[in-house]
Amino acid sequence: MKDGKVGWNPGKLNPDILEQLGPTDPKLPALSIFQQGSEIPSAILSNYALHLAIIEQE
């Protein structure tokens, strides 16, 4: 942010945003498990990585 802080969800098109902080990962790995002869999955396992959010209290 322009004031030197790191903001979480500061609002779309916020004029105080200088730049995006860090890269994003567009991938979402998923594993689908099907019973033999079925077209509907019995289970789906996915893994989504998310960064640690740090909240500053004033």
Q: What is the pLDDT of residues 2-30, one digit of tens each?
A: 888 876 777 778 888 887 777 777 788 89
Torsion of CA 40, 42, 27, 21, to 10 degrees: 130
Query: Residue by residue, what is the 3-state secondary structure of 10-43?
Result: CCCCCCCCCCCCCCCCCCCCEEEEECCCCCCEEE
Q: What's the pTM value of the predicted model, to 2 decimals?
A: 0.43
Cα 28 from Cα 8, distance rounded (Å): 22
Comparing CA positions, the residue from 25, 54, 31 lying closest to residue 44 is 31
Angle at the Cα of 26 from the Cα atoms of 43 and 53, rounded to 5 degrees: 90
Q: Where are the domains of the chain?
A: 24-58
